[in-house]
C-alpha cells in the first residue's frame, strides 16, 4: 500500500512516468490489528534533478473510537524516465 501511495504522489507531483529506485528505512511503531482503519498520507519530501523522495505515513484508527495514531513511516525514491527508460528532469 505504501509503494502504491508513494507512486501516485510522485506521479501527481511530476506528471511524468516514474519508477521506484529505492526504499529507505520503514519504521513500524505499533502493530496494526485486523479490523482497524488505516489512512496513508504521502507527500513529496525532497526533489532532485530527476528524482524525488516521497514520505508515507500510515495512521491507524480504531473503528469505534476517535483515537488515531501514526504507526508507520517510510521513504520511497522515484526517478522520472522517458520512453527510452533513461532519467529525465522531474520538473
Beta strands 68-80 and 18-23 are antiparallel
pTM, entire model: 0.92
**Which letter does DSSP use for residue 1 in this model?**
-
Which cell numbers in the block locate residue 77? 525514491
The predicted-structure confidence for 15-48, as pLDDT tens digits, reads as follows 999 999 999 989 899 999 888 899 999 999 999 9
The rounded distance, in Å, linking the Cα atoms of 24 and 4 is 15
pLDDT the model gives residue 91: 94
Residue 65 has pLDDT above 90, yes or no: no
pLDDT the model gives residue 58: 97
**What domains are defined for the chain?**
2-80 (3.10.129.10)
Amino acid at each position: 500500500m505504501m509503494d502504491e501511495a508513494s507512486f501516485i504522489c510522485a506521479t501527481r507531483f511530476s506528471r511524468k512516468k516514474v519508477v521506484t529506485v529505492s526504499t529507505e528505512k520503514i519504521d513500524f511503531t505499533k502493530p496494526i490489528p485486523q479490523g482497524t482503519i488505516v489512512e496513508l498520507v504521502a507527500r513529496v519530501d525532497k526533489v532532485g534533478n530527476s528524482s524525488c523522495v516521497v514520505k508515507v505515513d500510515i495512521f491507524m484508527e480504531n473503528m469505534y473510537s476517535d483515537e488515531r495514531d501514526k504507526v508507520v513511516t517510510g521513504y520511497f525514491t522515484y526517478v522520472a524516465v522517458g520512453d527510452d527508460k533513461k532519467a529525465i528532469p522531474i520538473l
